[in-house]
Chains A and B, each alone.
Chain A
Amino acid sequence: MSAANPAAFGWWSARNRLRGVSSRSHFPLLMTCVVFLLIYIAACLRYRGFFSLQVAVNLIGDNAFLGIAAIGLTLVILCGGIDLSVGAVIGCTSIFVATMTEHRGWSPALAVGVALAAGTALGVVQGMLIHFFELPPFLVTLGGLFLCRGLGLLISRESVAILNPLYVKLSSWSLPLGGHATFPLVGVLFVALLCIVSYVAAFRPIGRYVYAVGGNEQSALLMGLPVARTKIGVYAFAGFCSALAGIAVTLYTSSGNALTGSGLELDAIAAVVVGGTLLSGGVGGPIGTLVGVLIFGVIQSAIAFEGTLSSWWARIAIGILLLGFILLQKLLQPERTNP
Chain B
Amino acid sequence: MIKRLAITALLFAGLLAGCDKTSESKQEGGKKSLVVGFAQVGAESAWRTANSKSIKDEAAKRGIELKFVDAQQKQENQIKAVRSFIAQKVDAIVLAPVVETGFEPVLREAKQAGIPVVLSDRRADVTDDSLYATFIGADFIEEGRRAAKFLVVKTGGKATIAELQGTPGSAPANDRKKGFEEIIKDHPDMKVVLSQTGDFTRAKGKEVMEAFLKSPEGKNINVLFAHNDDMALGAIQAIEAAGLKPGKDIIIVSIDGVKAAFEAMAEGKLNCTVECNPLIGPQVFDLVEKAVAKQAVPKRIDVQEGIYTEEQAKEALPTRQY
Which chain A residues have a beta carbon within 8 Å of chain B's beta carbons?
38, 42, 45-49, 52, 54-55, 58, 62-63, 65-66, 153, 157-161, 163, 171-172, 249, 252-263, 300-301, 303-305, 307-312, 314-315, 324, 328, 331-332, 334-335
**Structural contact, A300 and B1, CB atoms closer than 8 A:** no
Chain B residues with Cβ under 8 A from A308's Cβ?
66-68
Interface string of B48-83 (1 = CB under 8 A from A): 010010000000000000111110101111011101
Most buried by B among A249, A262, A310: A310
> Beyond A258-B169, A304-B80, A312-B43, is A161–B1 a contact (Cβ under 8 Å)?
no
| Bound-complex Cα distance A54 to B80 (A) | 12
With beta carbons under 8 angstroms apart, the residue of A52, A157, A252, A324 that contacts B87 is A52
**Structural contact, B99 and A259, CB atoms closer than 8 A:** yes
**Structural contact, A172 and B105, CB atoms closer than 8 A:** yes
**Structural contact, A172 and B52, CB atoms closer than 8 A:** no
CB distance from B74 to the nearest CB of A (A): 7
**Structural contact, B103 and A253, CB atoms closer than 8 A:** yes
With beta carbons under 8 angstroms apart, the residue of A46, A253, A304 that contacts B75 is A253
Chain B residues with Cβ under 8 A from A328's Cβ?
8, 11
With beta carbons under 8 angstroms apart, the residue of B12, B67, B105, B167 that contacts A252 is B105
**Structural contact, A263 and B37, CB atoms closer than 8 A:** no
B23 interface hit (Cβ, 8 Å): yes
B174 interface hit (Cβ, 8 Å): yes
A38 nearest in chain B by CB position = B12
B42 interface hit (Cβ, 8 Å): yes
Interface string of B85-115 (1 = CB under 8 A from A): 1011100000000011111110010000000
| Bound-complex Cα distance A332 to B12 (A) | 13
Chain A residues with Cβ under 8 A from B127's Cβ?
161, 163
**Structural contact, A304 and B7, CB atoms closer than 8 A:** no
**Structural contact, A161 and B102, CB atoms closer than 8 A:** yes
A249 nearest in chain B by CB position = B76
CB distance from B97 to the nearest CB of A (A): 10
Jot down 30 A-B pairs with beta carbons below 8 A, ordered by A: A42-B19, A45-B16, A46-B23, A47-B88, A54-B87, A55-B87, A58-B87, A62-B76, A62-B80, A65-B76, A153-B169, A157-B169, A159-B102, A161-B101, A171-B105, A249-B76, A253-B101, A253-B103, A257-B102, A260-B75, A300-B77, A301-B84, A304-B84, A304-B85, A305-B84, A308-B66, A308-B67, A311-B72, A331-B4, A331-B7
**Structural contact, B89 and A159, CB atoms closer than 8 A:** no
> Beyond A46-B23, A171-B105, is A157–B168 a contact (Cβ under 8 Å)?
yes
**Structural contact, B4 and A257, CB atoms closer than 8 A:** no
**Structural contact, A49 and B88, CB atoms closer than 8 A:** yes
Chain B residues with Cβ under 8 A from A253's Cβ?
75, 79, 101-105
B15 interface hit (Cβ, 8 Å): yes
Known contacts A153-B168, A252-B76; can you find 20 more A-B pairs with CB under 8 A? A38-B12, A42-B12, A45-B16, A49-B89, A62-B80, A158-B174, A159-B102, A172-B108, A253-B101, A255-B99, A257-B169, A260-B75, A300-B80, A305-B67, A305-B84, A307-B67, A309-B68, A310-B70, A311-B42, A328-B8
Instruction: Please provide the 5 A-B residue pairs with the shortest distance between their CB atoms, ordered closest to farther.
Output: A307-B67, A253-B102, A255-B101, A311-B43, A255-B102
**Structural contact, B88 and A311, CB atoms closer than 8 A:** no
Interface string of B154-187 (1 = CB under 8 A from A): 0000000000000111100010000000000000
| Bound-complex Cα distance A253 to B84 (A) | 16
A313 nearest in chain B by CB position = B70
CB distance from A309 to the nearest CB of B (A): 7
With beta carbons under 8 angstroms apart, the residue of B15, B101, B105, B167 that contacts A160 is B101
B26 nearest in chain A by CB position = A308
A334 nearest in chain B by CB position = B1
| Bound-complex Cα distance A303 to B69 (A) | 8
Chain A residues with Cβ under 8 A from B84's Cβ?
55, 58, 301, 304-305
CB distance from A271 to the nearest CB of B (A): 14
| Bound-complex Cα distance A199 to B258 (A) | 56
**Structural contact, B79 and A45, CB atoms closer than 8 A:** no
A331 nearest in chain B by CB position = B4
B249 interface hit (Cβ, 8 Å): no
CB distance from B8 to the nearest CB of A (A): 6
| Bound-complex Cα distance A160 to B84 (A) | 25
B311 interface hit (Cβ, 8 Å): no
**Structural contact, A262 and B104, CB atoms closer than 8 A:** no
**Structural contact, B102 and A254, CB atoms closer than 8 A:** yes
B267 interface hit (Cβ, 8 Å): no
| Bound-complex Cα distance A331 to B19 (A) | 22
Chain B residues with Cβ under 8 A from A300's Cβ?
77, 80
Chain B residues with Cβ under 8 A from A252's Cβ?
76, 79, 105
**Structural contact, A259 and B170, CB atoms closer than 8 A:** yes
B217 interface hit (Cβ, 8 Å): no
With beta carbons under 8 angstroms apart, the residue of A62, A256, A311, A314 that contacts B83 is A62
Chain A residues with Cβ under 8 A from B108's Cβ?
172
Chain A residues with Cβ under 8 A from B189's Cβ?
none
B315 interface hit (Cβ, 8 Å): no
| Bound-complex Cα distance A260 to B75 (A) | 7
A46 nearest in chain B by CB position = B19
> Beyond A161-B125, A331-B7, A332-B4, is A314–B104 a contact (Cβ under 8 Å)?
no
**Structural contact, B83 and A332, CB atoms closer than 8 A:** no
**Structural contact, B83 and A58, CB atoms closer than 8 A:** yes
**Structural contact, A42 and B15, CB atoms closer than 8 A:** yes
CB distance from B311 to the nearest CB of A (A): 36
B87 nearest in chain A by CB position = A55
Chain B residues with Cβ under 8 A from A38's Cβ?
12
**Structural contact, A310 and B83, CB atoms closer than 8 A:** no
CB distance from A311 to the nearest CB of B (A): 4
**Structural contact, B105 and A257, CB atoms closer than 8 A:** no
Chain A residues with Cβ under 8 A from B52's Cβ?
310-311
Chain A residues with Cβ under 8 A from B19's Cβ?
42, 45-46
Chain A residues with Cβ under 8 A from B37's Cβ?
307
